[in-house]
Amino acid sequence: MSSMVIVGAQWGDEGKGKITDFLAEKADVVVRYQGGNNAGHTVEVGNEQYKLQLIPSGILHSDKLCIIGNGVVLDPEAFLNEVRNLENRGVATANLKISDRAHVIFPYHKKIDELSELKRGSNDLGTTKKGIGPAYMDKTERVGIRVCDLLKKDVFAAKLKENLEAKNSYLKKMFEFEGYSYEEMLEKYLAYAEQIRPYVDDTSVLVYNAIKADKNVLFEGAQGTLLDLDFGTYPYVTSSHPVAGGVCIGAGVGPALIGKAVGVVKAYTTRVGKGPFPTELFDETGEYIRKKGFEFGTVTGRPRRCGWFDAVIVRYAVRISGLTGIAVTKLDTLADIPRVKICVGYKLNGEIIKDFPASIEDLAFCEPIYEEFEGWEDVSHIKEYNKLPTNMLRYLERIEELCGTKISLVSVGPKRDETIVIEEF
Ligand code: GDP
Ligand code: IMO
Ligand code: MG
């Protein structure tokens, strides 16, 4: 398998957690390289369901090294809760490492996220309010506090003082929010520091050594291509780089060391939060998909917006991340819909466009051009690719043609054994 990146090729929630857990069986190391606990990766093992936010989806295999890379923003409280919840359910976290270079999320990041959204009113971005954007802002402004700082009491005390003065003053001026006590936050975070200390390491060394020793390393993306800060539907994006290129920075690994990039796509499209969505369905088919696919946000519980498969988006993701294959999930959810559609291009101002536009104002006016396909019946019991219904195979072949890449795997249910590998990775 060598090293492989798993990227969301739509707007997130494509089933990256399920696919990562499935592929982790053959991996030695699983690495998260961006995002934070805005992610919600649901993995089903037997009758158990796990909702992972910061911890890589490899954790459910007890022998895999799991790494939270430097590109992740880490909320220590959320991390420790996640660890506790897993341990309480009998999942060992001894093989878990956190990068000493990861930036730390503080309560003021969450508060700024929440109050900025409130202030934007109907123009809000629909963030998860986990403090992700404000924490990455501090990173790029070069005032952020990293895990390695948190572990050094004096360094941390000084950095927190400086940051808190600035943040309290900003919160007061912008939002009339009283701010936080320095002493209380210092004490709380120093206690977190001691609890996370055993997990902290220079993780890019671990990744490099694993690759050099011919171990299989899986990089697990969070969010998706259209939520990427550069390539997504800006400003309705997250503040990190979910695309495959994000791995190099977010895990500290050179591009030549990454063998493959697999995009995870749903058999249809969903998005949580705001922003244009050309194939969105506002009718009973959209409602049917939402109910049957249980399309509600893992992190916020918000209903996900649902629409037809959009090949313009996935073709874009194939190009941006150099995807060497795609994994198509939730094919079972589309079962029993008499006719299904694929968007093959957009019409904008009378012209046909095939490449995803930069401007969301243009995207909002893009009319999808559809091809229609006969539907299929329940497939969740099927274990072999060539036993899938002919209508579904036609649908999948057309997706391959339109997106310019092969389908390496299909998923017909949330469980590990509801996965059909077409081509070994
Ligand atoms: P992620 O954020 O990309 O990991 O995706 P989420 O976990 O947020 O959302 C995907 C949801 O679909 C989860 O509840 C998975 O358990 C579920 N899921 C994944 N693959 C399949 C599939 O093939 N069929 C069905 N019915 N559910 C799936
Ligand atoms: P996974 O990894 C879907 C969305 C939010 C919002 C935008 C910005 O489970 O696929 P943020 O809190 O990141 O500043 O919010 O990004 N968003 C996601 N949507 N799946 C996710 O993660 C998401 N993480 C963030 O809804 O629109
Ligand atoms: Mg999710």
CATH number at residue 128: 1.10.300.10
125 Cβ below 6 A of ligand 2: yes
Give pLDDT, residue 1. Answer: 59
Closest ligand to C-alpha of residue 16 is: 1
Which residue of 10, 23, 42 sits with most ligand 1 atoms within 8 Å of its CB, as the best mutation to test the pocket? 42
Three-state DSSP state, 262: strand
CA–centroid distance, 28 to ligand 3, in Å, is: 23
Largest separation between any pair of C-alpha atoms in the chain: 66
Three-state DSSP state, 343: strand
Asked if residue 137 and residue 94 are part of one domain, the reply reads no
Distance from the first to the final alpha carbon of the chain? 5
Distance of CA 393 to the CA centre of its chain: 28
Closest ligand to C-alpha of residue 240 is: 2
- Give the residue, by CA position, lying nearest to ligand 1 atom 27: 414
Tell which of 261, 277, 296 closes a domain: 261
CA–centroid distance, 286 to ligand 2, in Å, is: 20
- Give the residue, by CA position, lying nearest to ligand 1 atom 6: 13
Low-confidence ranges of the chain (pLDDT < 70): 1
Q: Which residues line ligand 1 (CB under 6 A)?
A: 8, 12-18, 40-42, 44, 298, 329-330, 332-333, 411-414
Give pLDDT, residue 299. Answer: 82
Which residue of 34, 53, 223 sits with most ligand 2 atoms within 8 Å of its CB, as the best mutation to test the pocket? 223
Q: Which residues are catalytic?
A: 13, 41
Asked if residue 69 and residue 14 are part of one domain, the reply reads yes
CA–centroid distance, 319 to ligand 3, in Å, is: 23
Tell which of 231, 261, 291 closes a domain: 261
Give pLDDT, residue 2. Answer: 79
12 Cβ below 6 A of ligand 2: yes
Q: Are 102 and 74 in contact (CB under 8 A)?
A: yes
Which residue of 13, 38, 241 sits with most ligand 2 atoms within 8 Å of its CB, as the best mutation to test the pocket? 38
What is the count of structural domains for the chain?
3
Structure tokens given for 310: 């959009």
Give pLDDT, residue 232. Answer: 98
With the C-alpha atoms ordered 360, 364, 365, 368, is the resulting torsion angle positive or negative?
A: positive
Q: Which residues contact 84 (CB under 8 A, 6 or more apart)?
A: none
Asked if residue 60 and residue 162 are part of one domain, the reply reads no
pTM: 0.97
Q: Which residues contact 152 (CB under 8 A, 6 or more apart)?
A: none
Asked if residue 234 and residue 302 are part of one domain, the reply reads no
Distance of CA 171 to the CA centre of its chain: 29
CA–centroid distance, 137 to ligand 1, in Å, is: 30
Tell which of 261, 294, 311 closes a domain: 261
CA–centroid distance, 42 to ligand 1, in Å, is: 6
Asked if residue 367 and residue 406 are part of one domain, the reply reads yes
Residue range of the domain that includes 177: 103-196
Asked if residue 188 and residue 39 are part of one domain, the reply reads no
Q: Are 341 and 307 in contact (CB under 8 A)?
A: no
Give pLDDT, residue 52. Answer: 98
Closest ligand to C-alpha of residue 20 is: 1
Measured from the Cβ of residue 424, the count of other Cβ atoms closer than 10 Å reads 8
